[in-house]
Amino acid sequence: MRSANLSLLLRHLHDHGGRTRAALSQETGLSKAAVTSLIADLAERGLVQEGKIDRRGTVGRPGTEVRIDPGHAAGIGLELNVDYLAVSLRDLGGQVRFRSSVPMPLVDGPDGRSYPPGPVLDLAAQQLREALAAAGAEGLWVAGATIAPPGPVDYEGASVRFASNLGWSDVPLGRALEQRLGTDLPPLSLENDAKLSALAEAPRLARQGITDLVYLTGDIGVGAGIIADGNLIRGWSGFSGEVGHIGLDPAGPRCRCGRRGCWETLVGFDTVLAVLDAEDPARSGRLPMQERLRRIRTLLDAGDARLEDRFARLPEDLVRGAGVLVDVLNPQAIVLGGYFGAFADRLVRPVQEALDLRLLAQDGRVEVSASVLGLDAAAAGGAAVALERVLADPLLAPPLPAGAARA
């Protein structure tokens, strides 16, 4: 019971911001004496601290605000993208304490480029080591790490079930990282990159009253994170959101998954790169993704006719798949992430207008916007999921050294 009440208080402060003890008692239904005792326990673990004095009201002594302490607990998110590996260390207050992004290691062979699991996981382990070192330097306890591969995962076995754009099948990612990091590895979980991105964006939209949304991530492939009534939808086998493989043209080009005419063959990042010269630096998978996107932006701003034509046609291709999602899922919002979000100025308005034209009823309108987290979305969501462990059970956090409690 005490663990549940600690979780109730900590989550309330995390979701709603600082509160006096009196307000916490009123809003949670716990007695004032219980709140005082529980707050002391949370403070001993470095999870809350006292803040400013609340002088609202005219009767009685003013209360002292209790708020989340960002200085003790943190979570790590690590995204394995076709183009890059990105790691994010975030504290319980939501602040980024460390981030890094490096190009994905790839091998050029007779059958094209491949992504051997060994070198990728070596680099992933190094990224985790750097994040853990950054946490140690700031005195942060790491509650856990969440790895975000671009495909469905086996949650119990901590493996990547299928990632067609990496050429991976049944890769035991969790065990491989444990072998590389040993006892340095914090508690590990896996979740699909688009699902984590949706979780990262959801709190911002929830504050606007939006609890049903689809997050679309645009990379070489296309994936979706689906939030329905505030809850992440995984599907019974974890394959929900593989929207890039919606079949739109049976006679279309062959997809990496083996099918023909998948949506991602129409709107994936490859379709933008394909209009550029073979030697253009934007086509180099060995450059950081941000540099590749900046190169494309520079060309667009200079009036490159090939890219102008591609981006003029891209909204129509996006709506071909997004329209299906709107009809089937009836979301309140669609968030464009990945490279779609990087070119929001060219995509959001025409996609919105095209979806508005095909409305079945006015009250079914979906709001189209760009991700505010950009390429950090999946890693940010991973860090948030890792911190969920301590929000669910604050007793996991080790006590501070004697005399260091902040409330």
Point out which residues pair with 336 in neighbouring strands: 216, 370
Class of domain 206-370: alpha beta
Q: Which two tokens stand for residue 95?
A: 């602040």
The residues spanned by each domain of the chain are 2-68, 73-149+153-191+378-396, 206-370
What distance in Å separates the CA atoms of residue 312 and residue 68, rounded to the nearest whole number? 46
Distance CA 31, CA 34 (A): 5
With tokens 């779609």, the residue in question is 340
Tokens of 161: 């079930």
So what's the pLDDT on residue 184? 85
Pick the CATH number of 2-68 from 3.40.50.720, 1.10.10.10, 1.10.3720.10, 1.10.1670.10: 1.10.10.10
The residue among 86, 56, 64 whose CA lies nearest residue 20 is 64
Minimal CA–CA distance to 125: which of 48, 69, 186, 72? Answer: 186
pLDDT for res 130: 97
Task: Answer for the pair 150, 162: CB distance below 8 angstroms, yes or no.
Answer: no
Q: How many residues does the chain have?
A: 407
pLDDT of residue 280: 94
What's the predicted TM-score (pTM) here? 0.89
Contact, 226 vs 240, CB < 8 A? yes
Phi, psi of 144 (to 5 degrees): 175, 175
Residue 58 pLDDT exceeds 60? no
> Please, what CATH class does the domain formed by 73-149+153-191+378-396 belong to?
alpha beta
C-alpha pair distances (Å), 4 with each of 1, 30, 97, 393, 398: 5, 12, 29, 7, 17
| Residue 96, pLDDT above cutoff 60 | yes
CA dist 288 to 21, 172, 291, 373, Å? 48, 26, 5, 17
Looking at the chain, the whole-number percentage of residues with pLDDT higher than 90 is 75
Provide the pLDDT confidence category of residue 151 given band limits of 50, 70 and 90.
confident
Task: Give the full edge-to-edge strand order of the sheet including 231-232.
Answer: 231-232, 222-228, 213-218, 333-337, 367-370
CB-based contact 152:237 (threshold 8 Å): yes
Cα angle, residue 283 at apex, residues 127 and 321 outer, rounded to 5°: 90
Average pLDDT over residues 323-349: 96
Mean pLDDT over 235-254 rounds to 89
Per-residue confidence band for 79, with pLDDT thresholds at 50, 70 and 90 = very high
In one letter, which amino acid is 197? S
- Report the alpha-carbon distance of residue 183 to residue 162 in Å, rounded: 28
For residues 205 and 60, what is the distance between their CA atoms, to the nearest angstrom? 38
Rounded-to-integer distance, Cα 51 and Cα 233, Å = 37
Q: Is the pLDDT of residue 60 over 70?
A: no
Instruction: Tell me how far apart the alpha carbons of residues 92 and 143 are, in angstroms, rounded to a whole number.
Output: 10
Q: In sequence order, what are the beta bridge partners of 213? A: 227, 333
DSSP 3-state of 332? coil
**Token duo for residue 360:** 């079945």
Rg over CA atoms, the chain: 23
Residue identified by tokens 């009036």 is 303
Does the pLDDT at position 179 exceed 70? yes
Vertex 150 angle, CA 306 and 314, to 5° = 25
Using alpha carbons, list the distances in angstroms from residue 319 to 29, 110, 204, 228, 377: 47, 36, 24, 21, 22
What b-and-e string marks burial along 73-95, b requiring 16 or more CB atoms within 10 Å of the CB?
A: bbbbbbbbbbbbbbbbbbbbeee
Fold agreement between 2-68 and 73-149+153-191+378-396: no
Q: What is the structure's pLDDT at 54? A: 57
Looking up tokens 């991105």 gives 197
